Structure 1
Amino acid sequence: MRPLPFAAPFHAPLPPRDANASAGDEAAPFGNLPEWDLSDLYASPDAPELKRDLDWLEDACARFAEDFEGKLAELDAEGFLDCVLRNERIQAVSGRIMSYAGLRYYQLTTAGDRVKFMSDMQDKLTNFTTPLVFFTLEINRLPDDHLNGLFDENAELARYKPIFDRIRAMKPYQLSDELEKFLHDLGVVGDAWEKLFDETIAGLTFMIDGEELGIEGTLTLLTDHDRSKREAAARELAAVLGENIRTFSRVHNTTAKEKEVIDRWRGMPNPQTGRHLSNHVEPEVVEALRNAVVDAYPRLSHRYYELKRKWLGLDRMQVWDRNAPLPTEEPKLVNWDEAQKTVMEAYAGFSPRMAEIAEPFFDKGWIDAGVKPGKAPGAFAHPTVTDVHPYVMLNYLGKPRDVMTLAHELGHGVHQVLAAGQGEMLSSTPLTLAETASVFGEMLTFRAMLSKAETKEQKKTLLAGKVEDMINTVVRQIAFYDFECKLHEARRHGELTPEDINALWMSVQAESLGPAFDFMEGYETYWAYVPHFVHSPFYVYAYAFGDGLVNALYAVYEEAPEGFQEKYFEMLKAGGSKHHKELLAPFGLDASDPAFWDKGLSMIEGFIDELEAMED
């Protein structure tokens, strides 16, 4: 998933049409934009294969509970492996069902039949899998020496040890069997609040210069060359978010309170603990990252935006100037074929194997690229299940930065394809490492484009764009993380009014963006449309983690390219089977070393140094 930096580069939506229609002439400015073919999952919501899988899943879950509940401690290594493999098969089938329901929903979040279908699937799978809650609970009651003994007896079982390590990391925060089953069933309520957020965002309309736009079209105007259009979009965005702020405030209050209650019952020391555990990363590593970035604000964002203020010829920067193109940057629409060629050539320049893995995404309906009314905003790559393939969602609008978004999401896709060999339980990568291939794909594409720059102004435009992307990925996401920390801490002490949340948002903005900016009235509501805060609390620091990690990796690649590709592919193939220390060791890197983050941030500083040198 690409971070929403404040406003991702978007464009006006295409005319209304069915989400599964062919691109046709409507997409002419960008070429023939691909759309998903979800038939590799299921042909339709009433496909007999879907009913078959639902029936199998219901029976498999019941038999799993009957065969293993209360008996894990009695299993020998062979029996325990059988239990694990059956659990993995259940995960694969349920994952296929929910991938299909979710992807179909994100294509058109405002369609009632798609909303109902996804909700019905969530309800069914929750009911089917409730009897399986015992599995992790019983695993955490097994003595360490007993479990380690089973691993010693069976090498195939030992391959799953990283999964058990993560499960057992939750041991101190585990509740009774009855409460765990209750929380499992209650999960559909939290999902409903997430759907309310998605549907509200997708249904917003904005009137700008007499034209009705969705949020995609409005946000893309924040990158327009015409400053008056940027201002109009920024003010209309603030106005519409302000009109809906009580709904967004209710969603955030409810989801944060739900998390606070669950965390309190589990005895988690702070709201971030659950995310750190799921990311398999130590709190002190995240804190070192956060502190390194905050300390670097003056050397990164403050310094860059002061440069940009001068380039734009402004006394003061306004929020609608942050993602403005440079005055020397020529307005350009990049058609889809050119975007594909740019990214694929960059991938092939690193390794033909990388391009070979990426090719089917373009040829086989694995990408949904067009902007359509009701389609979810932003971009992501969803791995689905390991016996199918990933799907990439974009909202492609022909901007040069959209090329970078394609490179980013395609990097995720390549990573997910490579990791699939680990199987359903071990392929999933912690968020902190999940951004590695995506950010690396962006860096490859940027470097390839930079090498082709023919003039000083072209190089300046590319460097500035990359610096802005890195600031959005590192500085902005750490500011978002600080906002979330403040939000969840404040919610522990009572209900938050919209004004309370607005104030928390503004408390991190001036610090991160720097003294070059003024903040218009209404900007305080811009927290409301960031989906990560609702869907994945504290997800955002993973972007900064990934960017810093990739900057350090790329420095290693530049210093010693011989043999790097093979080590890189091995890292991606590992999926979630190794800890970040083990994955980075072959490159001589260690994320637990505070100097590691300075190494990554120094690359951004170096780019800003180059831009400053161009002023001389």
Structure 2
Amino acid sequence: MLRKIQPVFDATDASGGKSLGDLPEWDLSDLYASEDAPELERDLAWLEKACADFAADYEGKLDTLDAAGLLQCIHRDEKISNIAGRIMSYAGLRYHQLTTDGGRTKFLSDCQEKITNFTTPLVFFTLELNRLDEDRLTAMYAENADLARYEPVIHRIRAMKPHQLSDELEKLLHDLGVVGDAWERLFDETIAGLSFTVDGEELGIEATLNLLTKQDRAKREAASRELARVFGENIRIFARVHNTAAKEKEVLDRWRKMPTAQTGRHLSNDVEAEVVEALRNAVVAAYPKLSHRYYELKRKWLGLDVMQVWDRNAPLPIEDTKTVDWTGARKTVMDAYSAFDPRMGELAQPFFDKGWIDAGVKPGKAPGAFAHPTVTNVHPYVMLNYLGKPRDVMTLAHELGHGVHQVLAADQGELLSSTPLTLAETASVFGEMLTFRAMLDNAKTDQERKVLLAGKVEDMINTVVRQIAFYDFECKLHAARREGELTPDDINALWMSVQAESLGPAFEFMDGYERFWAYIPHFVHSPFYVYAYAFGDGLVNALYAVYEENPDGFQDKYFDMLKAGGSKHHKELLAPFGLDASDPTFWDKGLSMISGFIDQLEEMEN
């Protein structure tokens, strides 16, 4: 059910009435001053002409270009990507601030349709690029070093060559893209408009999910049952969105002759399927020594015979439930970043000072958190739903890591700055680790240290175990959808098939938990995105081990890795650290850090 738009409330209301301080909001004027800004009209007009001119100058002629001509062509394409990206970033960010506002929704949709229409004539570019002779391209790289810079992105485009359709079909699919986007918007608007009533208080989804981390067990149970009830009332919408998105993907994959539903994601991530499979298998094999072992410890700490789903993210009984205000969160993260390297603090500072963060919880605002890079000649924007929980501090550290990474990679330009998802989580998870280690070093008592360690283990389990369980759910969902339409009960059963396996025997599952797949946005927006979190966590654990063993010169190598953006393959990026993600034992090294933290917690019990 969609809720009427209410006045924006102070995020402090959802955190027990304690003041969180002055929470920042975005200043989007670095993109455009308003939706009717003359600069926006100018850029739309420029884009329409630039696309038409590009098609007139290059369609059917790409194979006649020399190295200098191809470089100029790529530069023009890059400029078009920049202007289109600027417009869509502005429209998208405004929409995320208030997804239930009809005007913002219309503006986003209108921009998307205009840009789709303008850029349809450019579909030929990647198709003709894929038809160029490989030996001729190699010779042009050797002849022109500036062109050779773009070899990684051209290589990624040409990886799709075996899955390319006819020119006419590719144009049709390009035009139909806005239809698929409408299903994503239906999901977003439905989620943002949900209303939950817990103990007489009406809440949005972020504030309701936040109750699952409260000390009061009755409050956690009430929130869980209310989530289940409201998801149940809307389950047919969520099932329709998932069925449609999965079917659309199945049709595209079949036409493109993709061997699996996951292949497209692996190609876009520039990662080999066997590397992802090795990660998945290593994590699943480690469930007993990670999540199963930790939750058995937590069951004892909570004094329960069996844990319910509303206990999964419960604070420990010994945990101080204090609220961290915005000033405290900022200081914690900035101190940790600057202690690692002053350059890191300098890169993070403008996010706080210049309106690059939107932190408050507001009705209609998109749930969750993200860092959006916009375009390389502007800057990223970070979105949070900050409620003053210690985990919210870690979320700030995480998204700020993304932002720093995006700032550093911007010098690569529009086509090379974008990092494959598998590596995009590196700086974010590393930022979390820096913040956690700083907090652990400053712990004054064994009790405080235990709470911090337990919190970090839970975050890592959520990042690694939970996300791989999500990945397995998606694999099952897309495989099942290929056999026919899925009822809500069908999807519920797939969800439950991975939950007990990943969480372990310490848990019992309430009626209604089978519907909790409904609110996960990645399943709709970015199928199979979720393994990137586990990839990033394992990668960072291995990186941090290298840092601890040999800190000399690590910072420079780390900054070089972030500056590379998407210009290098993961094998090349990790080589300076002596790491190789294609080594089957690589993931065990990363998982051993989580296991080691659990060892420490077990030792504290003795």
Which contiguous aligned blocks of 4+ residues in structure 1 show a shift greater than 4 angstroms? 21-28
Change (3 A) 1:101 1:167: same
Write the distance in 1 (CA, Å) between the matches of 2:134 and 2:122: 22
Q: Secondary structure at the match of 1:392?
A: strand
Query: Is 1:416 matched up with 2:406?
Result: yes
Report what 2:317 is aligned to: 327
Report what 1:4 is aligned to: none
Change (3 A) 1:117 1:312: same
Change (3 A) 1:505 1:25: closer
- Letter paired with 2:264: G
Write the distance in 2 (CA, Å) between the matches of 1:593 and 1:257: 35
Q: Aligned to 2:370, which of 363, 372, 380?
A: 380
Query: Is 1:72 matched up with 2:41?
Result: no
Write the distance in 2 (CA, Å) between the matches of 1:399 and 1:509: 25
| TM-fit CA distance, 1:230 | 0.2
Write the distance in 1 (CA, Å) between the matches of 2:12 and 2:93: 18
Unaligned runs of 5+ in 2: none
Write the distance in 2 (CA, Å) between the matches of 1:178 and 1:352: 52
Report what 2:531 is aligned to: 541
| TM-fit CA distance, 1:593 | 0.4
Report what 1:194 is aligned to: 184
Q: Deviations over 1:44-102 (max 9, x none)?
A: 00000000000000000000000000000000111111100000000000000000000
Q: Aligned to 1:269, which of 235, 254, 259?
A: 259
Q: Deviations over 1:450-489 (max 9, x none)?
A: 0011111100000000000000000000000000000000
Query: Is 1:306 matched up with 2:296?
Result: yes
- Letter paired with 1:256: A
Change (3 A) 1:118 1:317: same
Do the aligned residues in 1 keep the contact of 2:235 with 2:488 (CA within 8 Å)? yes
Q: Aligned to 2:228, which of 232, 238, 248?
A: 238
- Letter paired with 2:361: V
RMSD of the TM alignment (CA)? Answer: 1.5
1:498-513 equivalent positions in 2, closer than 5 A: 498-513=488-503
Do the aligned residues in 2 keep the contact of 1:279 with 1:430 (CA within 8 Å)? yes
Q: Aligned to 1:109, which of 99, 104, 124?
A: 99
Q: Aligned to 1:157, which of 127, 147, 159?
A: 147
Q: Secondary structure at the match of 1:341?
A: helix
| TM-fit CA distance, 1:25 | 14
Change (3 A) 1:524 1:17: same
Q: Secondary structure at the match of 1:592?
A: coil
Write the distance in 1 (CA, Å) between the matches of 2:470 and 2:557: 33
Write the distance in 2 (CA, Å) between the matches of 1:251 and 1:29: 38
Report what 2:167 is aligned to: 177
Do the aligned residues in 2 keep the contact of 1:23 with 1:34 (CA within 8 Å)? no
Write the distance in 2 (CA, Å) between the matches of 1:22 and 1:512: 33
Change (3 A) 1:25 1:237: closer
Report what 1:5 is aligned to: none
Q: Secondary structure at the match of 2:605?
A: coil
- Letter paired with 1:380: F
Do the aligned residues in 2 keep the contact of 1:23 with 1:33 (CA within 8 Å)? no
Q: How many residues are matched? A: 602
Report what 1:598 is aligned to: 588
Report what 2:354 is aligned to: 364
Q: Secondary structure at the match of 1:258?
A: helix
Q: Aligned to 1:478, which of 456, 468, 485?
A: 468
| TM-fit CA distance, 1:576 | 0.1
Write the distance in 2 (CA, Å) between the matches of 1:160 and 1:346: 35
Do the aligned residues in 2 keep the contact of 1:202 with 1:375 (CA within 8 Å)? yes
Query: Is 1:247 matched up with 2:237?
Result: yes
Q: Deviations over 1:517-575 (max 9, x none)?
A: 00000000000000000000000000000000000000000000000000000000000
Write the distance in 1 (CA, Å) between the matches of 2:8 and 2:531: 36
Change (3 A) 1:105 1:450: same
Query: Is 1:455 matched up with 2:445?
Result: yes
Do the aligned residues in 2 keep the contact of 1:439 with 1:547 (CA within 8 Å)? yes
Change (3 A) 1:23 1:366: farther
Q: Deviations over 1:154-209 (max 9, x none)?
A: 10011000001001100000000000000000000100000000000000001111
Write the distance in 2 (CA, Å) between the matches of 1:593 and 1:146: 33
Q: Secondary structure at the match of 1:165?
A: helix
Q: Secondary structure at the match of 2:307?
A: coil
Write the distance in 1 (CA, Å) between the matches of 2:331 and 2:266: 38
Write the distance in 1 (CA, Å) between the matches of 2:554 and 2:454: 28
Query: How high is the TM-score relative to the length of structure 2?
Result: 0.98
| TM-fit CA distance, 1:17 | 3.5
Report what 1:586 is aligned to: 576
Write the distance in 1 (CA, Å) between the matches of 2:305 and 2:398: 35
Q: Aligned to 1:490, which of 458, 465, 480?
A: 480
Report what 2:506 is aligned to: 516
1:37-56 equivalent positions in 2, closer than 5 A: 37-56=27-46
- Letter paired with 1:483: F
Write the distance in 2 (CA, Å) between the matches of 1:79 and 1:212: 61
Report what 1:560 is aligned to: 550
| TM-fit CA distance, 1:24 | 12
Write the distance in 2 (CA, Å) between the matches of 1:354 and 1:208: 41
Write the distance in 2 (CA, Å) between the matches of 1:433 and 1:224: 33
1:130-149 equivalent positions in 2, closer than 5 A: 130-149=120-139
| TM-fit CA distance, 1:29 | 1.1
Write the distance in 2 (CA, Å) between the matches of 1:388 and 1:516: 49
| TM-fit CA distance, 1:22 | 12
Do the aligned residues in 1 keep the contact of 2:98 with 2:365 (CA within 8 Å)? yes
Query: Is 1:318 matched up with 2:308?
Result: yes
Do the aligned residues in 2 keep the contact of 1:60 with 1:90 (CA within 8 Å)? yes
Identity among equivalent pairs (%) = 79
Write the distance in 2 (CA, Å) between the matches of 1:356 and 1:74: 47
- Letter paired with 1:458: E
| TM-fit CA distance, 1:18 | 5.0
Write the distance in 2 (CA, Å) between the matches of 1:34 and 1:591: 38
| TM-fit CA distance, 1:217 | 1.1
Q: Secondary structure at the match of 2:508?
A: coil
Write the distance in 2 (CA, Å) between the matches of 1:528 and 1:548: 27
Query: How high is the TM-score relative to the length of structure 1?
Result: 0.96
Write the distance in 1 (CA, Å) between the matches of 2:597 and 2:169: 52
Do the aligned residues in 1 keep the contact of 2:23 with 2:359 (CA within 8 Å)? yes
Unaligned runs of 5+ in 1: 1-12
| TM-fit CA distance, 1:115 | 0.2
| TM-fit CA distance, 1:146 | 1.2
Report what 1:3 is aligned to: none
Write the distance in 1 (CA, Å) between the matches of 2:11 and 2:24: 8
1:423-438 equivalent positions in 2, closer than 5 A: 423-438=413-428
Q: Secondary structure at the match of 1:29?
A: coil
Report what 1:7 is aligned to: none
